Amino acid sequence: MVKLIQEVVVLNRAGMHARVCSLLYSTLKSFTSEVILFKGGQSADCRRVIEVLSLGAAQGSLLRLEVEGEDAQETMNAVLTLFESRFFEEDESTALESERVASGSCSKDAEVVLK
């Protein structure tokens, strides 16, 4: 099983609000990997909208993203696309989303942990 770890920054102006958390949840329905966000001493299972909301992640928040499972790479790519595109809430998102989908890879800074 593969575990990927990546730091992400909340870029969208409104932060991790209900619509954004719901979009994250919906995106994860296509994958089986476990996805956890960490902020400070708190963690949140990304398949639980209330947990992600409880992180209180505003614009500029630095989060640690951990993805573990058989489809970890694909799941990480999908989640990074959401963060980099500002969850499709702002005009710049279209170019960023297209670039991420076209590249099909997670950040070169992602840490891979094999179990």
| Cβ-based neighbours of 102, under 8 Å, separated by 6 or more | none
Active-site residue identified among 14, 15, 17, 54: 17
What gap in Å lies between CA 52 and CA 101, rounded to an integer? 24
CB count within 10 Å of CB 95 equals 10
- 69 belongs to the catalytic site: no
| Active-site residue set | 17
